[in-house]
Structure 1
């Protein structure tokens, strides 16, 4: 495990739910941090240099939980050392770099996963299963949003706003929505039109220092999927009152399906002439293939950490049974991660040129 910010310890917990996996080492550039976390989580080895961890012959899998700008270098080094890699998103700093690392992982026979865990919620799996079986009918349109409030004021400044690549909000949370939508539809995004906004070109930190901003706070995005299904969503870090509000709505000619990440254990079904019904995820009423994702009884809410555990479990299962090279794995792969980066670059280009732009395909 490399990187011990918010997400790193969450990965440790998820890995420990896999009987065949053992967390043997953690790495962070802050010696005090890695020593403390190793003690708290009872992990035997600690490193402050990620190259040393990758060189450890006892390690088979690397979880890359570092900042965006470090993903490419670390992932490449791990692959060349024969390690399987499970990387945080976004996969790379560019579509070109994502393409290169995806092809390298395939060439080297590496299990290459990206942590887009929202697709691994039981309700999202249920949406996909119902659509694939034709239960909801033909998809007519997709809508949604991903809204947070962390950058809603001019005094909202954090070092996390640095080194985010060519985009900030889309790179951080927008690609989560896109991955979830593409997974449900079973289709990549073909073309988009985006309108990006930086609400505060100058931000002020707690010490009164100012920081020039050249990345977006909010994006309004129209899109068409490869099968022609149209869609639109808004992604923003300037939506006061919204904590982690990802919503995906799929309208079909049979019925509609709506999912909200902050109410993750339920799926809302909308029927013409009847109204709405709420389907709580449970093993008695969900589709057969969704049962492995239902881990608690109704009312015992399965949430964010459960989806992460589902993703990590699926990733390690594919290593154990050798299926990681198959296109049928449910978790997000490096190929999916490439599509995410190509989507981000298309959004930037569309907003600058004020037109529809095709999304690069692998």
Structure 2
């Protein structure tokens, strides 16, 4: 009976993965490390910043500006100096990220209603952090400007902006990062486990035994396909549970839609892994091939940087990346409750990629048997 043969092969594949110490390490260690590192350490938020202030103003408003800078939770340490050279040296030696210089006439100009400014020197070697810190300082100075006499007189004629952040009101970075990890971990596990499957058979000398078994070619392919998908879905389930329980991320959409798209996504990844495995003669080659695909797949998915910010010639390459579509689905299901039509629209490219990768892997597998 074909189902009995297929069931035996699936159990054999699962036992081969779970009994191999190296495979167990791959299944457990990288997901845990990525969950900890990306969720807590890999953040674009800028906090605990050291700054230096040169306050050459003896008036009230210079003192008020210094107090507001010291009271900001963004800045960890605010040091002071009386020397412009020391200010520049602190930035040059990377002791501080920002240096603020308040002019001697700062308070007098404010009381007289005359324009004045504050010099902010930022360390451009840390471009992203310096831009964010510059924005924080601009907000502090703008708040001080609104409290000055001139600012209060102009308050009635000034248009105020009241920002409102949809889907993530408090801008909690884990709400963005952890849903992304669901897709990235599934990509990692699916590629590694599948890429090692046939290569492991060749190294152990059991591949020829598998070929002379009563199993047909398509049954072998299905037996190699289903175990990595099952393992990947288990990891997806664990990360969904961690997102809800540990990180308290709301699940606003349909869990059924998320799992439905996850199956198609895993099929596309496993097909690519089977292709790598069929091309590899050793497990080392399989791991190298998997990481050769994994790194570009992560970078071109919109995980770390928006696809819109990539060069125009590179953006079309992202259309063949299954992680690009799945990340949109995961974030949408968690934070936005995207409709079924949008999930289907994003799942269709995943199905096409799965069909192409699985067909190519099956063709190459048959060629290898000839």
Q: TM-score, normalised by structure 1?
A: 0.22
Q: TM-score, normalised by structure 2?
A: 0.22
**Which structure's residues are more often strand, by fraction?**
1
Higher-Rg structure is 2
Comparing both chains, which one has the higher relative contact order based on Cα–Cα distances under 8 Å and sequence gaps of 6 or more? 1
